[in-house]
Amino acid sequence: MKVKRDPATDDLFAVARSRRDLGIERAAEHAERELPDWREEAVDQVRTYARTHEVFMTEDVRLVAHALGLPPPPDGRAWGQVMQRARRLGVIEPDGYAPAHSSNLSPKVRWRRT
């Protein structure tokens, strides 16, 4: 069965994705201005975490990274860009969704090491 596409809905999703990406980018740029090299240090934390955890959530990496001394970014959305960079580098890949404790159990991307 072929799913019929609805241009109006497709446009809404495109707008939502664009706004999401803009927010993530702004948060990451703000973090970099306040904490130079924060993004690369955070990506390194993702690499390190993925070596010992096959499947995980961003919040898991974030908690360990902060406990190990990585300062939290001014806006937590900066982690979105970190995870996407780690994905593009082949460190991790999306593995569905799972409830996140940090956001009232709303579904967030679950990651798998590659």
What is the predicted pLDDT for the residue at 5?
Answer: 64
54 φ, ψ (degrees, to nearest 5) = -75, -45
DSSP string, 91-103: SEEEEEEEE-GGG
* pLDDT, tens digit only, all 114 positions of the chain: 465 666 666 688 888 888 888 888 888 888 889 889 999 999 999 999 999 999 999 999 999 999 999 999 999 989 999 999 999 999 999 999 999 998 899 999 999 999
